[in-house]
C-alpha cells in the first residue's frame, strides 16, 4: 500500500508532479487540469479482475486506480455501483435497441457528485486539511457538505444567484457555511478564490479537478463491468458506442473518457465510446465552438438558462480536452432549451419511472436530438448519465393542475361523517371522464412502443386511448368503437397497416376518420404516394412523439 506512487501529469505541458507535492496547479505552467498516473509495477490486472467480485459495493473497489495513498483515509457513504437500467419504452420510441440509463440519482445525496465528494474529501483527510472552500452551482456543495460532515472537515460553500434555495438549505443542513452571491458561477468562483486566499483556507480547485476526473472515471469502470454482464462480448468488459451527459464544467465526460482509456490500455475493452455532450442552449459555449469547428470556446458572459447546474459560462481548457477526445474517438456536441429539458423530464418520468433534475432533462432532450439527427444509430449501444434527482419537483414542470382537491370543510367533523357526504364530495371532483372525450385507437405490434404512445397521448385529459396489437384486432376495435383518430403501424404480422387503411377507406362510416401512420419501414415511392393520398400524417419511427406532437394531432380533430 505504501509503495503506491501517484503522479499528476499536466494536461497542457505534461510536467509531472507527485500528488503529495501538488499545490493546486502545474508548477511549470499554472494549468489546473492535471491527470493522475499510477505506477502499475505492483498491479496485476488478472489478479485484480479476479478479486473484484469479492470487493465491497462502493467505488473504492477500484482503489488501486484512485488518488489516495492509504485506504484507511477513505470517507464513504456507500457511493457508486449505481444500477445500469435498460430503458425499453424510451428505447422503443426512439428506435434504439440498446438504450441504458446509468442511474446516478441513487447516490447518497442524489447526484453523481457523490463520487467526486468521496474522492476529494478522502484526499483532503489524507492531507490533514480541516477546512475547505468550494464554489458550486449546488450539487458539489451538497455532496462535499455531507462527506465533509463525516470527516469533520468544515465547508465554506459559495453559490451563484441562480442556485435554488432548496439546494442551499440541503448543504446548510449538513453544517456547511452558505454564501450566496448575486453573480453568475464564473464570478462566484473568483470570489471564492479570493476568500480562500484572504482567510488562508484551502481552496478546492486543483484537488477538485484531480478528484473529479478520477472519481467520474469510476463510472466508466462500472459501465464496463455492467455492460459485459448485460451484453457479453469478446473482451472481459465492454464499452458502449455512446456515453451521453449534460455538461457544465465537463469533468464527467473527461473522467469517463479517461476511465475507458485506462481500461483499453489494460486490455479490458477493445473500442472507445463516442461522447455525446449536451449543454443548455442558454449557456452552450462548447456547442457553439464545436459548430464553428473551433478548439477554443468563447465564454458566455451572461448565461440565459434557469438550469443553474449547467451554467458554466467559461469552460476553459476542459472544452479543448473534450474536443480532442471527439476528434480521436468520435462524438458530438448538442444543446437543448429549458423548455425541451422540462418536456424530457416529463417523458422520462412517465415512461421509465425516473424523476430527474433539470440538468438531466437537458441530457435526455439532447439524446432525442442526436437520434433524430441520425448521429446516434438504431443499433448503437447507448449509455446515458442520469446525473441527478429532482427534489423537490420543480413547479415549472407540473404546472397548476397536478392535484385534485377534495374539499371536506363543509362536512361534519369525524367520527360523525356520514359516508354519503364524502361520496358526494368526491363526485364534485372532476376526474376527467366526460362523455365528450376524444377516442383514439393505436394499432402497434411492438407492445412497448404501443404503451408508450398511448401513455403520452393519455396524459391529455380530453383523450381516451385503446390499443390493438395487430391489424385484425385493430379493425374490430375501430368498427365497434368508431374513434376520432387512428394511429397505426404498417408492418404487422397477419393483417398489416396497409390493409387496415384500405378497409377503413372502403367502409362508409370509417372513411373520414383521420389516420396517422408511424413506421420504421423504408417505403417505396409507390407506397409513399399511396399513403400520402390516404393518411393525414406519416411519421418515421425515431421521430420523437412528445406532448407537442399530441397537441398538433388533437388540433386536427
Ligand X SMILES: *Cc1c(COP(=O)(O)O)cnc(C)c1O
Q: Please state the closest distance from residue 406 (CB atom) to ligand X, in A.
A: 36
Instruction: Please choose, out of 9-17, 55-63, 409-417, 500-508, the segment that lies near Zn ion by the rule CB under 5 A.
Output: 9-17
In three-state secondary structure terms, 184 is coil
Identify the H or E element spanning 487. Answer: strand 485-488
1 binds Zn ion (CB under 5 A): no
Q: Please state the closest distance from residue 272 (CB atom) to ligand X, in A.
A: 18
- According to DSSP, the β-strands at 438-443 and 463-468 are parallel
Interaction residues for ligand X, span 446-485 (CB under 6 A)? none
Residue 457 interacting partner from Zn ion, ligand X, none (CB closer than 5 to 8 Å by kind): none
Comparing CB distances to Zn ion, the nearer of 33 and 492 is: 33
DSSP readout, 490-536? S--SSS-HHHHHHHHHTSGGGTTS-EEEEE-S---HHHHHHHHHH-S
* d(C-alpha 182, C-alpha 179), whole Å: 10
Interface pattern 509-548 for ligand X (x via CB under 6 A): ----------------------------------------
| Block residue for cell numbers 404480422 | 493
Q: Please state the closest distance from residue 10 (CB atom) to Zn ion, in A.
A: 3
Residue 26 interacting partner from Zn ion, ligand X, none (CB closer than 5 to 8 Å by kind): Zn ion
Comparing CB distances to Zn ion, the nearer of 61 and 208 is: 208
446 binds Zn ion (CB under 5 A): no
110 binds ligand X (CB under 6 A): no
Residue 250 interacting partner from ligand X, Zn ion, none (CB closer than 5 to 8 Å by kind): ligand X
Q: Please state the closest distance from residue 17 (CB atom) to Zn ion, in A.
A: 9
388 binds ligand X (CB under 6 A): yes
276 binds ligand X (CB under 6 A): no
How many residues at the interface with Zn ion, by CB under 5 A?
8
- According to DSSP, the β-strands at 381-386 and 98-103 are parallel
Residue 251 interacting partner from Zn ion, ligand X, none (CB closer than 5 to 8 Å by kind): ligand X
- According to DSSP, the β-strands at 16-18 and 6-10 are antiparallel
Interaction residues for Zn ion, span 28-87 (CB under 5 A)? 28-29, 31
Out of 36, 141, 251, 382, name the contact with ligand X by CB under 6 A. Answer: 251
How many other CB atoms sit within 10 Å of the CB of residue 288? 16
10 binds Zn ion (CB under 5 A): yes
The number of angstroms, rounded, from the C-alpha of 102 to the middle of its chain's C-alpha atoms is 8
Comparing CB distances to ligand X, the nearer of 335 and 387 is: 387
Q: Please state the closest distance from residue 528 (CB atom) to Zn ion, in A.
A: 59
8 binds Zn ion (CB under 5 A): no
Interaction residues for ligand X, span 133-192 (CB under 6 A)? 139
In three-state secondary structure terms, 159 is strand
* d(C-alpha 208, C-alpha 213), whole Å: 8
- What are the residues facing 492 on neighbouring strands? none
Q: Is 520 exposed, middle or buried (0-12, 13-18, 19+ CB in 10 A)?
A: middle
- Coarse DSSP helix, strand, coil percentages of the chain, rounded to the nearest 5 percent: 45, 15, 40
Comparing CB distances to Zn ion, the nearer of 31 and 88 is: 31
* d(C-alpha 279, C-alpha 323), whole Å: 14
Comparing CB distances to Zn ion, the nearer of 32 and 487 is: 32
| Block residue for cell numbers 368526491 | 426
Out of 63, 102, 113, 451, name the contact with ligand X by CB under 6 A. Answer: 113
**Three-point CA angle 378, 384, 387, nearest 5°:** 165
| CA-wise closest residue to 497 among 458, 531, 524, 536 | 531
321 binds Zn ion (CB under 5 A): no
Out of 220, 247, 322, 354, name the contact with ligand X by CB under 6 A. Answer: 247
Q: Provide the sign of the torsion angle of the four alpha carbons 14, 20, 26, 27, taken in this order.
A: negative
Instruction: Please choose, out of 18-26, 343-351, 353-361, 406-414, the segment that lies near ligand X by the rule CB under 6 A.
Output: 353-361
Residue 98 interacting partner from ligand X, Zn ion, none (CB closer than 5 to 8 Å by kind): none
390 binds ligand X (CB under 6 A): no
* d(C-alpha 181, C-alpha 188), whole Å: 7
Comparing CB distances to ligand X, the nearer of 74 and 216 is: 216
111 binds ligand X (CB under 6 A): yes
- What are the residues facing 35 on neighbouring strands? 9
The number of angstroms, rounded, from the C-alpha of 10 to the middle of its chain's C-alpha atoms is 30
Residue 15 interacting partner from Zn ion, ligand X, none (CB closer than 5 to 8 Å by kind): Zn ion
Instruction: Please choose, out of 354-362, 374-382, 454-462, 491-499, the segment that lies near ligand X by the rule CB under 6 A.
Output: 354-362
Residue 170 interacting partner from ligand X, Zn ion, none (CB closer than 5 to 8 Å by kind): none
| CA-wise closest residue to 511 among 519, 501, 520, 522 | 501
Residue 31 interacting partner from ligand X, Zn ion, none (CB closer than 5 to 8 Å by kind): Zn ion
| CA-wise closest residue to 212 among 238, 186, 251 | 251
Comparing CB distances to ligand X, the nearer of 17 and 139 is: 139
> Any idea what DSSP says for residue 297?
P
Instruction: Please choose, out of 20-28, 240-248, 326-334, 488-496, the segment that lies near ligand X by the rule CB under 6 A.
Output: 240-248
Out of 250, 316, 474, 497, name the contact with ligand X by CB under 6 A. Answer: 250
Three cell numbers, residue 380? 448503437
Comparing CB distances to ligand X, the nearer of 184 and 454 is: 184
Instruction: Please choose, out of 70-78, 199-207, 250-258, 366-374, the segment that lies near ligand X by the rule CB under 6 A.
Output: 250-258
What is the maximum span of the chain, computed from C-alpha positions, in angstroms? 85
387 binds ligand X (CB under 6 A): yes
User: Which residues, in sequence order, are CB contacts of 557 under 8 Å at separation 6+?
Assistant: 438, 484, 485, 514
Three cell numbers, residue 154? 468544515
447 Ramachandran zone, left/alpha/beta (phi>0; psi -120 to 50): alpha
Contact indicator for 147, 141 with CB cutoff of 8 Å: no
Contact positions vs Zn ion (CB under 5 A) = 10, 12-13, 15, 26, 28-29, 31
Contact positions vs ligand X (CB under 6 A) = 111, 113, 139, 246-252, 309, 357, 359-360, 387-388
Amino acid at each position: 500500500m505504501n509503495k503506491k506512487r501517484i503522479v499528476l501529469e499536466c494536461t497542457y505541458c505534461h510536467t509531472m508532479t507527485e500528488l503529495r507535492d501538488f499545490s493546486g496547479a502545474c508548477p511549470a505552467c499554472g494549468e489546473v487540469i492535471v491527470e493522475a498516473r499510477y505506477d502499475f509495477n505492483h498491479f496485476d490486472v488478472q489478479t485484480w479482475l479476479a478479486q473484484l467480485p469479492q470487493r465491497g459495493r462502493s467505488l473504492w473497489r477500484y482503489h488501486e486506480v484512485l488518488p489516495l495513498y492509504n485506504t484507511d483515509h477513505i470517507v464513504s457513504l456507500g457511493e457508486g455501483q449505481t444500477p445500469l437500467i435498460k430503458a425499453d419504452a424510451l428505447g422503443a420510441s426512439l428506435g434504439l435497441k440498446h438504450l441504458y440509463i446509468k442511474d446516478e440519482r441513487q447516490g447518497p445525496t442524489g447526484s453523481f457528485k457523490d463520487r467526486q465528494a468521496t474522492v476529494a474529501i478522502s484526499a483532503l483527510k489524507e492531507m490533514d486539511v480541516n477546512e475547505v472552500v468550494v464554489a458550486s452551482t449546488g450539487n458539489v456543495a451538497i455532496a462535499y457538505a455531507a462527506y465533509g460532515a463525516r470527516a469533520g472537515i468544515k465547508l465554506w460553500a459559495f453559490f451563484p444567484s441562480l442556485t435554488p434555495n432548496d439546494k442551499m438549505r440541503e448543504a446548510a443542513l449538513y453544517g456547511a457555511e452558505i454564501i450566496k452571491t448575486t453573480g453568475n458561477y464564473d464570478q462566484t468562483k473568483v470570489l471564492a478564490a479570493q476568500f480562500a486566499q484572504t482567510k488562508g483556507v484551502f481552496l478546492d480547485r486543483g484537488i477538485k479537478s484531480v478528484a473529479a476526473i478520477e472519481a467520474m472515471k469510476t463510472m466508466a469502470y462500472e459501465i464496463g463491468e455492467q455492460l459485459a454482464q448485460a451484453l457479453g462480448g469478446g473482451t472481459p468488459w465492454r464499452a458502449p458506442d455512446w456515453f451521453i451527459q449534460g455538461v457544465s464544467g465537463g469533468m464527467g465526460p473527461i473522467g469517463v473518457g479517461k476511465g475507458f482509456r485506462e481500461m483499453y490500455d489494460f486490455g479490458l475493452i477493445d473500442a472507445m465510446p463516442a461522447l455525446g455532450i449536451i449543454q443548455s442552449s442558454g449557456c452552450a459555449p462548447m456547442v457553439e465552438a464545436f459548430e464553428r469547428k473551433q478548439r477554443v470556446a468563447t465564454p458566455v458572459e451572461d448565461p440565459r438558462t434557469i438550469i443553474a447546474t449547467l451554467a458554466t459560462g467559461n469552460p476553459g481548457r476542459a472544452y479543448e480536452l473534450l474536443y480532442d477526445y471527439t476528434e480521436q474517438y468520435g462524438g458530438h456536441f448538442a444543446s437543448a432549451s429549458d423548455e425541451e429539458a422540462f418536456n424530457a423530464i416529463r417523458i422520462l418520468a412517465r415512461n421509465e419511472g425516473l424523476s430527474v433534475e433539470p440538468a438531466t432533462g437537458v441530457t435526455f432532450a439532447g439524446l432525442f436530438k442526436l437520434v433524430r439527427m441520425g448521429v446516434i444509430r438504431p443499433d448503437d449501444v447507448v449509455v446515458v448519465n442520469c446525473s441527478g434527482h429532482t427534489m423537490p419537483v420543480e413547479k415549472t414542470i407540473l404546472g397548476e393542475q397536478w392535484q385534485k382537491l377534495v374539499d371536506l370543510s363543509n362536512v361534519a367533523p369525524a367520527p360523525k361523517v356520514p359516508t354519503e357526504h364524502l361520496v358526494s364530495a368526491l363526485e364534485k371532483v372532476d376526474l376527467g371522464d366526460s362523455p365528450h372525450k376524444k377516442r383514439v385507437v393505436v394499432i402497434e405490434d411492438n407492445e412497448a412502443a404501443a404503451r408508450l404512445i398511448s401513455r403520452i397521448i393519455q396524459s391529455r385529459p380530453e383523450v381516451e386511448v385503446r390499443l390493438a396489437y395487430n391489424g385484425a384486432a385493430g379493425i374490430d376495435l375501430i368498427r365497434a368503437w368508431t374513434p376520432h383518430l387512428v394511429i397505426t403501424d404498417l408492418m404487422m404480422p397477419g393483417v398489416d397497416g396497409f390493409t387496415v387503411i384500405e378497409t377503413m377507406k372502403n367502409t362508409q362510416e370509417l372513411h373520414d376518420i383521420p389516420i396517422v401512420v408511424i413506421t420504421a419501414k423504408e417505403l417505396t415511392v409507390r407506397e409513399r404516394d399511396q399513403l400520402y393520398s390516404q393518411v393525414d400524417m406519416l411519421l418515421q419511427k425515431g421521430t420523437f412523439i412528445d406532448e407537442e406532437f399530441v397537441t398538433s394531432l388533437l388540433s386536427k380533430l
